[in-house]
Amino acid sequence: MADPAAPEWDRPAPPLRLSVGVTGHRATHAVYAANEAAIRRTLERALAALEGPGGGPRPRLHSLLAPGADLLAATYAQARGWEVVAPLPFGPDLNAAVNAEPATLAETKAIEAATRRTVVKATWP
């Protein structure tokens, strides 16, 4: 156990942890739809390879959780016991509205307003 009173340069380094970012096409994009099976296989193999032989901390996945490749990667990572971090660039309210893929500005504002009144918990398909 490290001495908490020791100077910072005299303390052991924390264990290294791999952080992986994934972003890709949305589920509604033609390229995603045409290649979904290959995307699924590739993500599963990539996450397994990134875990390495074990023993250390599990990798961490960063994803914007957009429907499609982002959410698929987060689902697979969570199933493997990885921490999933979602840096929402617009905040949770507007992010929910954007990911709902509204057709009009009025729909975006309605979804954003509804999100403010709702406690959103992450769920995975």
Q: What is the rounded average pLDDT of the residues 30-40?
A: 95
Record the pTM.
0.68
Query: What local confidence, expressed as pLDDT, does residue 99 receive?
Result: 72
**Do 108 and 97 meet the contact criterion of CB atoms below 8 Å apart?**
yes
Q: What is the rounded average pLDDT of the residues 38-54?
A: 90
